[in-house]
Amino acid sequence: MRKYLIYLKYSSVVIKVAAWFFLFLGIIGSVPLFLGKVAGSSRWAGPVFLIFYSFLFMFFFTVAKICDILLQIINENKGQS
């Protein structure tokens, strides 16, 4: 059972890294769109792009936090028994 806890711990870290990567990608991608530097795109595409990637960040970060909370609950229950 302990090997699954290690997997949960590492997957939480990987998901957090992916969440921050999506946020960084959204910021980097939306700034040129928002400033109008990309030919053939409108300025409203930048905020839409940023909102979409911010949603992905919040989703993945929330999943990682749920994994962390689950690990804490499991460790507290093991300590009590």
Question: Buried (b) or exposed (e) across 20-47, using 16+ Cβ within 10 A?
Answer: eebbeebeebbeebbeeeeeeeeeeebe
pLDDT of residue 63: 96
Q: By the 8 A CB rule, do 22 and 64 touch?
A: no
Q: pLDDT 10s per residue in the chain (81 long)? A: 667 788 899 999 999 999 999 999 999 999 998 888 888 888 889 999 999 999 999 999 999 999 999 999 988 887 776
Contact call for residues 68 and 12 (beta carbons, < 8 A): yes
Stated pTM of the model:
0.84
